[in-house]
Chains A and B, each alone.
Chain A
Amino acid sequence: MANQTDLVNRSNGRMEAVQQREAIAPAVDVYENADELLLLVDVPGATNDGMEVQLDKGQLTILAKRREDAPGSLLAAEYRACDCLRVFSVPQGIDPAKIDAQLSGGVLLLRLPKSDSVKPRRIEVKQG
């Protein structure tokens, strides 16, 4: 090939193969009560370092990165240790500063507290 460094015009027109990390969608439970939204996410094998929880422009991204720790050569495989990724649209009225995430036993527990303005308020009816 005449010019191997030509980045723009490729003679064969083939796209460059880009390796992308595989991610699967983990099972998620979403609960709600008057004060908060509660998410439970199955992320087996995830550690605190590998968890990325991000709220950006109303999108909640939950990414659990997982390292393959093979204790030997693989004899039989039914799963691959790949990342877990899930994105949710978060409704208005969630207080981003108070989001709390805990990881225990391969399950991520996310609490999204509602801001005071959207919490239901009981109005006292006074004697007129």
Chain B
Amino acid sequence: MFSRFGEASRDFALLDEFRRRLDRVWEDMDPSWPASSSNARAHSSSAWPRVNVYDGGSNLVVKADVPGLSEKDVHVTLNESGLAISGQRKVAPPEGYSAHRQERSSFSFSRSLTLPCKVNPEQTQASVKNGVLTVTLAKAPEAQPRQIAVQAH
């Protein structure tokens, strides 16, 4: 989805994507898939945080839901191969309370995405607001959309 595949590997990329989607269907249906605790299900390091990628014309925007995380808890790294989001979510039960229900859990996470085009690393911005991480990546000049004037003969 995020990767650019050559012609030769495009079929495999399709298969890979299909497998990934199927995995997600299973995850959603059966909490014990893959054999792991129910807490790890929504938060398995491979699937958390879930990410949306937008194309804003001159930039790319990556958004991810990271409730309860502050800017200090999230590390965003940009390198040749793409964008990496990692960090740790700490949920400390308040002192002096007994727990009835604990669905929010502490875990560490890391994800990496291959970006669909070249970006300008200098102009990358990341922020966390209302529990949503937003990474804005400016497209490299060669990847910017260019208006071609249509001329009459």
Contact = CB atoms under 8 A, between A and B. Distances in A.
Given A42-B67, A74-B54, A32 B131 contact: no
B98 interface: yes
B54 A71 contact: yes
A74 B94 contact: no
Interface stretch (A10-18, A44-52, A113-121): A44-52
A31 B96 CA distance: 9
Residue of A33, A70, A72 contacting most chain B CB atoms (<10 Å): A72
A107 B91 CA distance: 11
A72 B54 contact: yes
Given A29-B99, A38-B94, A79-B65, A74 B104 contact: no
B77 to A, nearest CB: 19
A46 B130 contact: yes
Given A45-B65, A72-B55, A106-B130, A30 B94 contact: no
A32 B97 contact: yes
Given A30-B99, A32-B98, A106-B130, A78 B68 contact: no
Contacts of B57: 72
Given A47-B130, A75-B53, A29 B2 contact: no
Contacts of A78: 50-52
Given A45-B130, A105-B128, A79 B101 contact: no
Interface of B: 1-2, 42, 50-57, 59-61, 63, 65-70, 91, 93-94, 96-104, 116, 128, 130-132, 134, 136
Interface of A: 27-33, 38, 40, 42-47, 70-79, 103, 105-107
6 contacts: A30-B101, A38-B97, A40-B91, A44-B130, A72-B60, A78-B52
